[in-house]
């Protein structure tokens, strides 16, 4: 498949869906020539990126992420937005599938011309998925999408990776409180700019209220991440479309406040620099691991370090000598 021949920057900038889909396939490819083509394409469309609101969404299994994204996306599209939904799901590398592979999960959005849904790239580590998703996000912006949702399934460090590429991090929670353990992964609550308790209707309304109160108390203990925004706790029912309009309003309010204070552009500059350093570090370590004189030695030394038979600094020096010296 010759991707490059098929995609011109002009097609992408004109919002051609097929060109966008193929451009994302190109950036997901690990072939060296595809990589180079992808870089050229990204370079050319880069000036047309950055004009979207980037929202990361996470939550425990069963919280209703797809239903929420459908309802939230509907409101955004009604407000005139063009929505792209991307996923960061490193678990898909195990199955070769993806949380978003089945488009019936968001059947309504997937039929709308103002929405673009893309499954998580398979066969990559978290670092690889995150890198490709960042680039896919830029391509979607170049194609005119002005609201990007990056969904994460809550595996390991994927939330941190997502938080590093979005403007607003939204955490979905289930009703419940007191002794109903939510099982919120450690380290996720602190990333949230908006916490939304879903399924807050009918019999579950009181439990949703309790959960919202507990989370509000927990958030009050912590220093806000931003000067111009303190995290808020909201309730909604995505299934019945209750409260979704308010979530959309607060997301807009976040963008307005963070934009006016200059914190949003500052955050993006910091994210871009951090991305460069991740790229450098990941690439260096990959090059190191692929080095013939290093690979075998590394496995052996890693085991010795874990067993406490060699100090990490000594092991590192030996590996680096083999890598840089040879």
Q: Which of 183, 202, 206, 262 binds a copy of itself (CB under 8 A)?
A: 183
Residue 240 interacting with a copy of itself (CB under 8 A): no
**Sign of the Cα pseudo-torsion (37, 41, 43, 49, in order):** negative
Please check whether residue 58 is in contact with residue 88, taking contact to mean a CB–CB distance below 8 angstroms: no
Residue 193 interacting with a copy of itself (CB under 8 A): no
Could you tell me the two tokens for 216?
């509000």
Could you tell me the two tokens for 317?
């020096």
Please check whether residue 35 is in contact with residue 131, taking contact to mean a CB–CB distance below 8 angstroms: no
Of 290-309, binders to a copy of itself (CB under 8 A) are: 301-302, 305-309
**Sign of the Cα pseudo-torsion (243, 110, 7, 25, in order):** positive
- Only segment of 61-69, 93-101, 129-137, 197-205 that touches a copy of itself (CB under 8 A): 129-137
Residue 62 interacting with a copy of itself (CB under 8 A): no
Q: Which of 222, 260, 293, 299 binds a copy of itself (CB under 8 A)?
A: 222
Starting from the edge strand earliest in sequence, which strands make up the sheet with 115-117, in order?
A: 115-117, 83-88, 147-152, 53-58, 168-173, 194-197, 232-235
Cα gap 120→123, rounded to integer Å: 10
Please, which residue, 33 or 249, has the CB nearer to a copy of itself?
33
Residue 1 interacting with a copy of itself (CB under 8 A): no
Q: How many residues bind a copy of itself (CB under 8 A)?
A: 67
**How many residues can be counted in the chain?**
326
Q: Which of 111, 203, 313, 326 binds a copy of itself (CB under 8 A)?
A: 313
Q: Which residues bind a copy of itself (CB under 8 A)?
A: 39, 42-43, 46-47, 49-50, 131, 134-135, 138, 178-179, 181-187, 189-191, 214-215, 217-218, 220-223, 225, 268-270, 272-273, 275-281, 283-285, 287-288, 301-302, 305-317, 319-320, 324
């Amino acid at each position: 498949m010759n991707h490059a021949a098929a995609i011109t920057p002009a097609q992408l900038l004109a919002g051609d869906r097929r060109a966008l889909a193929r451009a994302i396939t190109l950036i997901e490819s690990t072939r060296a020539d595809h990589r180079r083509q992808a870089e050229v394409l990204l370079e050319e469309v880069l000036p047309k990126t950055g004009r979207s609101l980037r929202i990361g969404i996470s939550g425990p299994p069963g919280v209703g992420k797809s239903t929420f994204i459908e309802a939230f996306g509907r409101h955004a599209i009604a407000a005139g937005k063009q929505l792209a939904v991307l996923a960061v799901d490193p678990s898909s590398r195990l199955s070769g599938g993806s949380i978003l592979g089945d488009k019936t999960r968001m059947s309504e959005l997937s039929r709308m011309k103002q929405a673009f849904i893309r499954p998580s790239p398979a066969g990559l580590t978290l670092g690889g998925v995150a890198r490709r998703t960042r680039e896919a996000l830029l391509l979607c912006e170049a194609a005119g999408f002005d609201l990007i949702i990056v969904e994460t399934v809550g595996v390991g460090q994927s939330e941190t990776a997502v938080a590093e590429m979005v403007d607003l991090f939204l955490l979905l929670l289930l009703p419940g409180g007191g002794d109903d353990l939510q099982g919120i992964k450690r380290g996720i609550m602190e990333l949230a700019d908006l916490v939304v308790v879903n399924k807050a209707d009918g019999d579950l309304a009181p439990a949703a209220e309790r959960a919202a109160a507990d989370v509000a108390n927990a958030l009050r203990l912590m220093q806000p991440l931003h000067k111009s925004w303190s995290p808020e706790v909201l309730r909604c029912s995505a299934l019945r479309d209750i409260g979704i309009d308010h979530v959309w309003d607060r997301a807009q309010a976040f963008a307005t406040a963070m934009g006016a204070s200059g914190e949003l552009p500052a955050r993006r500059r910091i994210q871009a620099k951090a991305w460069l350093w991740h790229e450098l570090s990941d690439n260096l370590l990959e090059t190191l691991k692929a080095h013939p004189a290093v690979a075998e030695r590394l496995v052996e030394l890693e085991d010795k370090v874990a067993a406490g038979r060699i100090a990490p600094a000594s092991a590192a020096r030996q590996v680096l000598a083999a890598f840089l010296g040879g």
